[in-house]
């Protein structure tokens, strides 16, 4: 996971570490020369104490990095982030925060400078993510039934993700019903039916060509009548450039009044996923994001960029093909995966 990005970050950390050690050595030489000159001028009786002072200096010596020390490496890092599909605005913010964390800060010579740089990098990455959103706390506190609408483009694992969320809800003690709002494709009805059969969940559906808003509305009414906690509403995959289908999703929102709108895309889609997230957010005001296939993502750019770009939290990531292969997103965990 994120192998390409890890390599680039490790290169940056190594270069800054080398620069820190190089600067520490230079400062040591300068101090030793000054010390020699001072010793020549001092009286004989003071020389014994100077040895102790020099020893203390070596033990406590500190290094300060300035802009010239790190600027070349930061520029290289920004290019590396861009190549890993991190959006320009986000790359610049990371580099700016990292520079702020490194420049002018003292690094004790006896400390592990690589650990220091890694800590600065962790803070810079965490800083680009918005506040976290606890999905299950939301489910616990919200009046039932809770209507959750899933939106996104074609083929990104949206329907499978819905089944995974239903399974995760069941494990937490919440009931759910699946609503097939994808009336555009005949295959979509069979697909959600199959998932419902596999995880033993009821699927509310209409015929192909029906009104998707009516399907989800019926699912909400069914849930109210049968004390079901959560409605998970699937919608037809659509490109953000398809005006008619984007108007349709706006209608679904207007009619069904979802409590949560979740944008689903692939982590491996990189910058394309970021652009799609922006368009869907502008159309229906997305509340949260789920990224599928994060286990296959070697770059990490989409996950870093989407949350910051649309200022909405990632709540889950897909980690495999099984229904249990979904993980609540945690910023510390994610950053730890990159910096491990």
Residue ranges at the known binding site for GTP:
152-159, 234-238, 292-295
The DSSP annotation for 48-68 comes to HHHHHHHHHHHHH-EEEB-HH
Annotated binding residues: 152-159, 234-238, 292-295
What is the C-alpha separation between 215 and 327, in angstroms, rounded? 29
Q: Helix (H, G, I), strand (E, B), or coil: what is residue 145? A: coil
3-state DSSP of 254-322: HHHCCCEEEEEEEHHHCHHHHHHHHHHHHHHCCCEEEEECHHHCCCCHHHHHHHHHHCCCEEEEECCCC
Query: Cis bond leading into 145, ω under 30°?
Result: yes
Contact assessment for residue 9 and residue 117, using Cβ atoms and an 8 Å cutoff:
no
DSSP code at position 144: S
3-state secondary structure 93-107: HHHHHHHHHHECCEE
Cβ(132)–Cβ(313) below 8 Å: yes
Angstrom distance (rounded) from CA 124 to CA 122: 5
């Amino acid at each position: 996971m994120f192998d390409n990005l890890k390599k680039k970050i490790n290169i940056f950390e190594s270069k800054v570490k080398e620069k820190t050690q190089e600067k520490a050595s230079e400062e040591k030489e300068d101090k030793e020369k000054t010390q020699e000159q001072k010793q020549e001028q001092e009286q004989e009786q003071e020389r014994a104490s100077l040895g102790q002072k020099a020893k203390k200096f070596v033990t406590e010596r500190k290094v300060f990095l300035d802009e010239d020390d790190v600027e070349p490496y930061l520029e290289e890092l920004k290019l590396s982030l861009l190549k890993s599909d991190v959006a320009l605005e986000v790359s610049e913010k990371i580099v700016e925060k990292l520079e702020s964390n490194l420049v002018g800060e003292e690094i004790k010579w006896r400390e592990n400078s690589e650990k220091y740089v890694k800590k600065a990098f962790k803070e810079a990455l965490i800083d680009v993510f918005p506040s976290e959103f606890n999905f299950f706390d939301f489910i616990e506190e919200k009046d039932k039934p809770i209507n959750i609408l899933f939106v996104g483009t074609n083929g990104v694992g949206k329907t499978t993700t819905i089944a995974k969320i239903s399974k995760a809800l069941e494990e937490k003690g919440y009931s759910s019903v699946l609503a097939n709002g994808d009336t555009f494709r005949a295959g979509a009805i069979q697909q959600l039916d199959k998932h419902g059969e596999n995880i033993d969940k009821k699927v509310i559906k209409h015929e192909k060509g029906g009104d998707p808003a009516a399907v989800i509305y019926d699912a909400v009414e069914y849930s109210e009548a049968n004390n079901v906690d959560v409605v998970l509403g699937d919608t037809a995959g659509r490109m953000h450039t398809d005006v008619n289908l984007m108007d349709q999703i706006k209608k679904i929102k207007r009619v069904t009044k979802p409590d949560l709108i979740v944008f689903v895309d692939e982590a491996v889609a990189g910058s394309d996923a970021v652009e799609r997230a922006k368009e869907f957010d502008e159309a229906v005001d997305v509340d949260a994001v789920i990224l599928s296939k994060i286990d296959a993502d070697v770059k990490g750019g989409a996950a870093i960029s989407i949350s910051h770009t649309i200022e909405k939290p990632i709540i889950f990531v897909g980690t495999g093909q099984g229904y249990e292969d979904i993980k609540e997103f945690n910023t510390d965990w994610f950053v730890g995966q990159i910096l491990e």
